Amino acid sequence: MGRLFGTDGVRGVANADLTAELALGLSVAAAHVLAEAGTFEGHRPTAVVGRDPRASGEFLEAAVVAGLASAGVDVLRVGVLPTPAVAHLTGVLGADLGVMLSASHNAMPDNGIKFFARGGHKLADDLEDKIESVYEEHRTGAPWARPTGAGVGRVRDYDEGFETYVSHLLAVLPNRLDGLKVVLDEAHGAAAHVSPEAFARAGAQVVTIGAEPDGLNINDGCGSTHLGLLRAAVVEHGADLGIAHDGDADRCLAVDAAGNEVDGDQILAVLSLAMREAGTLRGDTVVATVMSNLGFKLAMEREGLNLVQTAVGDRYVLESMKENGYALGGEQSGHVIVLDHATTGDGTLTGLMLAARVAATGKSLADLAGVMERLPQILINVKDVDKSRVNTSGELAAAVTEAERELGSTGRVLLRSSGTEPLVRVMVEAADIEQARAVAQRLADVVKSALG
């Protein structure tokens, strides 16, 4: 698998890449690393462990729980809950560690392990690196120091987690949803029960699809990566809006009453104006990535809001928010972070806040999302090139400069090296789709000739 930890924990095909032995070993290593770092000092350590409904999550949960308990960590097993719920519970229960078993929007055969530090925040990179090195060291020979007798960890189910999380969501909602009809697509995932419960208690009339997880159907033709079913259901039921989550419900995408997609950029635009009005948008600033649509940037400028852009990945958005005290950030893919109420992207919270804005204003979601115009965006992946030279090629730099001159202030060019494949991504935005397509193809040809 190469380096075990990626940008969002450890992922792979369950029982092939991500085995029970690996899950157990990483859990023991995490316990030892956190103990050495002083996290457990002066008290008996506790961990919160949750999962999404994937079949493989059952045996991987057992492995993680066994590893933690064998290392002297007490375990609160919260069962099937969204990733942001596990993060929230890790914080409010004062746990030393949180563990979520999920591969998010990936297909069912995959699974993953994500660790949260005390407070429910993502584990620091240096601790992830240390866990990986300690795991490798002990995997190849050095035996673990293991507690015995009363020193071993105790395991119990924490059934109150569902109610604690739903109550939190309702407590931070700015207003009720009475009078709204909402269709929820739960991707047969971790929010299949939480999200409908929260929306119903908030006053919405709820129609659910993709809310019958059987361990095998997660993300299968539904959820935030497949909006077709949600579009059709919203129109069929005459709903005001639809909300789609991914498998672990840290994402939220939406559709308006006509079935048109409302993406993460548009959701950020709507929430930014709502939060500014409420006085909670600190610094009048929103954080997004360089892949956000140019239409979003132009809308923020027009509305007098500041936009900070980071590298692609919600981890970079979160880092910028925490370092500078910003309250709202996210990605086009639907990862939206409201830092006053969540330590990570929370799809259910995002959906509730979006619906609350519709209810509070009396405007349709289409009208609210109309604050920004999505400019046509063309993305071409140029394969089998030397991506390491993307920033040093004079020929390519000249081509980009010419493209930017041609597009002017209503267009944008972005070249990115893939982090995992030998390819360069060429992204062009323009007011006219044909112009965007022509410029993107021309740049792709230059990338191929210059870096091939």
Question: Which residues are known binding-site members for Mg(2+)?
Answer: 104, 246, 248, 250
Q: Which residues contact 81 (CB under 8 A, 6 or more apart)?
A: 50, 89, 161, 162, 165, 190, 194
The first and second tokens of residue 26, run together, are 């990483």
- Point out the annotated binding site: 104, 246, 248, 250
In angstroms, the Cα distances linking 153 to 37, 144, 418 are: 19, 15, 42
Residue 224 known to be catalytic: no
Residue 338's CB is within 10 A of a number of other CB atoms, namely: 20
The secondary element (H helix, E strand) that includes residue 359 is helix 347-361
Residue 137's CB is within 10 A of a number of other CB atoms, namely: 11
CA 29 – CA 36 distance, rounded (Å): 11
- Cβ density class 287-318: b for 16+ within 10 Å, e for less: bbbebbbbbbbbbbeeeebebebbebbbbbbb
CA 331 – CA 349 distance, rounded (Å): 15
Written as one letter, the residue type at 437 is R
Catalytic residue among 102, 104, 224, 320: 104
Q: Is 171 exposed, middle or buried (0-12, 13-18, 19+ CB in 10 A)?
A: exposed
The secondary element (H helix, E strand) that includes residue 47 is strand 46-51
Q: How far apart are the first and last CA of the chain?
A: 27
Q: List the catalytic residues.
A: 104
